[in-house]
């Protein structure tokens, strides 16, 4: 697909993409193409296959018309030229590592990174001979002091999906570009809707499609999106060698949800921001870590670089409440379930012991952090639920 109508707004282009998979069959849905074998018209066609050519069908593992359609729509959405799909967000992270880093190389990772990314890096450091070092997410241009001749990759994540610091991404990418280091952002929080990484000098955007793109809490998938073809091919080669593929059935579920993603996201944003502002007024809460509110470190960068927030934010409770009391608070909520992931219709809450999650930067708070994911329920009901449990806490 090429983006044939750049004059249309983002939402129009998401709802009415320019691709046409089955000419003559006018349906709004994308057919599910299931395949392992892909039949070649003749042996010459098989022998002249080039793995670099995204337009050739080779084997169901690598691409089907359904998966390519999803990949192309995601790339268009974020302003990239190429996208690869992986069977989870974490496998997209892994694809970035194995595509770009070899033994002897060094990687810089924000201290507030998605924890399984840190665990992956620690594994590579222990068993595969790379070095993984962590930086304060608010380091900005100071990243220059950490770059070594063997530094090959800088991860970015803004905001961090638990502690919500917003990095000065253009400052970091400007240094990285000048020093020839590739940058990859975990852009899951913004869904690619409210932060445009390629406008800020980022080389790779990684998405957990499991979240807003799916919207149903029922699919796992991830994507890596690039502007640059050589970078795309490096990731594509690693993906091929590791045998990574996705199911067309799963792709079709995400294709079904994608047109409504922006309106869902905006509703999550609206309810979450109202709840966050209200929580700020409660004496049980020491800090509200919502990038759109001034308490959040990096708020100024959010205001400069982002156009919206979605449903995920955190609060820090007053330190007089013990972790056990906060556990009880979370378990007492009726409308917020306890569970990983987010991006679906249902609200979630989860306590975190942040001090145990970072190594490089000081965590300034003493109270327990609770992350809320605000779903699509009535905001007044969610507020009443939290209020009831805050009252029980204070009693």
Ligand X SMILES: *Cc1c(COP(=O)(O)O)cnc(C)c1O
Binding stretches for ligand X (CB under 6 A): 88-90, 114, 161, 186, 188, 208, 210-211, 220, 222, 341
CB of 314 within 8 A of CB of 350? no
Pick between residue 114 and residue 302 the one whose CB is nearest to ligand X: 114
Beta carbon of residue 344, minimum distance to ligand X (angstroms, whole number) = 12
Return the residue nearest ligand X (CB atom).
89
Beta carbon of residue 261, minimum distance to ligand X (angstroms, whole number) = 15
Beta carbon of residue 87, minimum distance to ligand X (angstroms, whole number) = 8
Pick between residue 162 and residue 176 the one whose CB is nearest to ligand X: 162
CA nearest 275: which of 231, 315, 220? 315
Pick between residue 318 and residue 341 the one whose CB is nearest to ligand X: 341
The backbone region for 52, taken as left when phi is positive above 0, alpha when psi lies in -120 to 50, beta otherwise, is alpha
CB of 236 within 8 A of CB of 267? no
Q: How many whole angstroms from its chain centre is CA 168?
A: 17
Beta carbon of residue 88, minimum distance to ligand X (angstroms, whole number) = 3
Pick between residue 13 and residue 247 the one whose CB is nearest to ligand X: 247
CB of 69 within 8 A of CB of 222? no
Beta carbon of residue 207, minimum distance to ligand X (angstroms, whole number) = 8
Pick between residue 13 and residue 347 the one whose CB is nearest to ligand X: 347
Helices (H), the chain: 10-15, 43-47, 65-78, 89-100, 115-127, 169-179, 229-241, 248-257, 261-280, 299-305, 323-332, 379-394
DSSP 8-state assignment for residue 96? H
Say how far apart CA 159 and CA 111 lie, in whole Å.
12
Pick between residue 96 and residue 286 the one whose CB is nearest to ligand X: 96
Beta carbon of residue 47, minimum distance to ligand X (angstroms, whole number) = 37
How would you label 115-126 residue by residue, b for 16+ Cβ within 10 Å and e otherwise? eebbebbeebee
């Amino acid at each position: 697909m090429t983006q044939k109508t750049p004059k249309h707004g983002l939402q129009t282009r998401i709802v009415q993409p320019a691709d046409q998979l089955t000419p003559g069959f006018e349906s709004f849905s994308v057919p599910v193409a299931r395949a392992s074998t892909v039949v070649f018209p003749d042996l010459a066609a098989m022998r002249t296959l080039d793995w670099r050519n995204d337009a050739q069908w080779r084997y169901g593992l690598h691409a089907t018309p359904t998966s390519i359609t999803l990949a192309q729509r995601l790339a268009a959405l974020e302003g990239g030229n190429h996208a690869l799909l992986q069977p989870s967000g974490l496998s997209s992270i892994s694809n970035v590592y194995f595509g770009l880093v070899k033994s002897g190389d060094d990687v810089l990772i924000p201290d507030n990174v998605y924890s399984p990314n840190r665990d992956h890096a620690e594994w590579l450091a222990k068993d595969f001979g790379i070095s993984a070092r962590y930086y304060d997410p608010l380091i900005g241009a100071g990243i220059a002091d950490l770059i070594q001749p063997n530094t090959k990759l800088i991860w970015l994540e803004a905001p961090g999906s638990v502690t919500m610091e917003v990095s000065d991404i253009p400052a970091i990418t400007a240094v990285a570009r000048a020093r020839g280091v590739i940058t990859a952002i975990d852009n899951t929080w913004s869904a690619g809707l409210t932060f445009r990484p390629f406008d800020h000098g980022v080389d790779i955007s990684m998405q957990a499609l499991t979240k807003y793109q799916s919207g149903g809490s029922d699919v796992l998938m991830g994507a890596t999106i690039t502007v640059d073809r050589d970078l795309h091919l490096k990731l594509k080669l690693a993906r091929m060698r590791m045998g990574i593929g996705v199911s067309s059935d799963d792709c079709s579920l995400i294709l079904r949800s994608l047109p409504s993603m922006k309106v869902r996201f905006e509703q999550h944003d609206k309810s979450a921001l109202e709840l966050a502002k209200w929580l700020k007024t409660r004496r049980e809460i020491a800090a509200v870590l919502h990038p759109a509110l001034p308490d959040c470190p990096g708020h100024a960068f959010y205001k400069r670089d982002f156009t919206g927030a979605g449903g995920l934010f955190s609060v820090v409770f007053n330190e007089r409440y013990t972790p056990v009391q906060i556990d009880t608070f979370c378990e007492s909520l009726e409308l917020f379930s306890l569970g990983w992931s987010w991006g679906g219709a249902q609200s979630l809450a989860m306590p975190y012991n942040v001090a145990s999650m970072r190594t490089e930067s000081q965590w300034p708070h003493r109270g327990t952090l609770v992350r809320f994911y605000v779903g699509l329920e009535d905001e007044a009901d969610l507020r009443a639920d939290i209020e009831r449990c805050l009252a029980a806490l204070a009693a």
